[in-house]
Amino acid sequence: MPQLVNGVWEKGDVAASEMKGGAFHREPTSFRTWITPDGSPGPDGQPALAAEPGRFQLFVAYICPWASRTLMMRSIKGLTDIIPVAISEPELGDNGWTYDPPADAGPRVGPVRHQHELYTASDPRFTGKVSVPVLWDRKEGRIVNNESADILRILNGAFDGITGDRRDLYPAHLRPEIDRWNAVIYDTLNNGVYRAGFARTQSAYEDAVTSVFATLDRLDAHLAHNRYIAGQHLTEADIRLFVTLVRFDAAYHGAFKCNLRRIADYAHLQAYLRDIYQWPGVAETVRIVHIKRGYYSIAHINPTGIVPLGPDLDFASPHGRDGLPSAGIAGRG
């Protein structure tokens, strides 16, 4: 995968640092500034900017589950008129994430064709992977944050005073349960499918796939008795799980060889997937055509570039989960 090296875009498989012993290891993100209602420091003392309508922008790709997390939170929290979004082309080629036509990044930077232009505008000597999502400051022309987990929390609360939406997808009383599930879902499922798909040894692949399906089995049993991951309330844990589930049968089952079972083979996970998809504002963040085009364009996984016609997916059918206790989204105290 190409990347920036001292501010210069290098094509080819120069991001081999993510491979160790034939197994895939995800690089840490680099930009971690926060946004808060008044510019006070973030939850762990991070430097922060004050929330303003129209100042900040998301750069994303529909193919990417990490980016889709932020699109879901933006939609659920009513931020679509507050934070504009730029959508990349789904194929990740030699030039990385590409905007066609170029995306407007504000008066300081202007139109950008490639995602790496945002990185070098923020740090002219940047070295590392160029990823989506990016939370961008249009006023100062720099990246605020490129860690999707941070961006979820920022969008969950920083703009409440502007929108009046006091719903909380990371409520204090559920944080231990959310954090517990987040850790499991990230390691073995969100990132687990990538460890399977990008593995370069049989043992690394089998270890990853075994963990993926052990977690899916566990989640299916849990969701037999719980409407959402943390119980009765929709939380960020559901967002983080949904983005992997919705891609699974379309991409991970085939392109990443996670083919022991489909999500369609799990009664409770399939119903849960439909339940979340039908939540107001969620369906518009999913583009299955982009997802398939993107994953099947990865050359070393699919050298022919042929995109499969199937599977035939139906997320709009009745989910049958209304009998499980549901309290919607918790309010902020």
pLDDT digits 0-9 by tens, 77-132: 999 999 999 999 999 889 999 999 999 999 999 999 999 999 999 999 999 999 99
Which percentage of the chain shows pLDDT scores above 70?
95
Instruction: Check pLDDT > 70 for residue 16.
Output: no
The confidence score (pLDDT) of residue 14 equals 46
Q: What is the mean pLDDT of residues 259-275?
A: 98
The confidence score (pLDDT) of residue 21 equals 64
194 tagged catalytic: yes
pLDDT-derived band of residue 1, with 50, 70 and 90 as boundaries?
A: confident
The residue among 21 and 168 whose pLDDT is bigger is 168
64 tagged catalytic: yes
pLDDT-derived band of residue 15, with 50, 70 and 90 as boundaries?
A: very low
pLDDT digits (tens, 9 = 90+) for 193-226: 999 999 999 999 999 999 999 999 999 999 999 9
Domains in the chain, start-ordered, CATH in brackets? 3-165 (3.40.30.10), 172-331 (1.20.1050.10)
Beta-sheet pairing, 19-20 with 98-104 = unpaired
Mean residue pLDDT of the chain comes to: 95
The confidence score (pLDDT) of residue 22 equals 62
The confidence score (pLDDT) of residue 26 equals 66
Which residue, 239, 240, 252, 263, is CA-closest to 292? Answer: 252
Q: What is the mean pLDDT of residues 247-266?
A: 98
What DSSP string runs through 197-222? Answer: HT--SHHHHHHHHHHHHHHHHHHHHH
CB 7 within 8 A of CB 126: yes
C-alpha–C-alpha distance, residues 222 and 185, integer Å: 13
Instruction: Check pLDDT > 80 for residue 73.
Output: yes
Cα angle: 307, vertex 86, 118; to 5 degrees: 105
Which listed residue (194, 228, 272, 295) is catalytic? 194
In this prediction the pTM is 0.95
pLDDT digits (tens, 9 = 90+) for 22-65: 666 567 878 999 999 999 999 999 999 999 999 999 999 999 99
C-alpha–C-alpha distance, residues 333 and 166, integer Å: 8
Which listed residue (62, 64, 277, 296) is catalytic? 64
pLDDT digits (tens, 9 = 90+) for 123-156: 999 999 999 999 999 999 999 999 999 999 999 9
| Residue 232 CB coordination number (10 Å) | 14
**1, 83, 198 from 97: Cα distances, Å:** 11, 20, 19
- The amino acid at residue 99 is Y
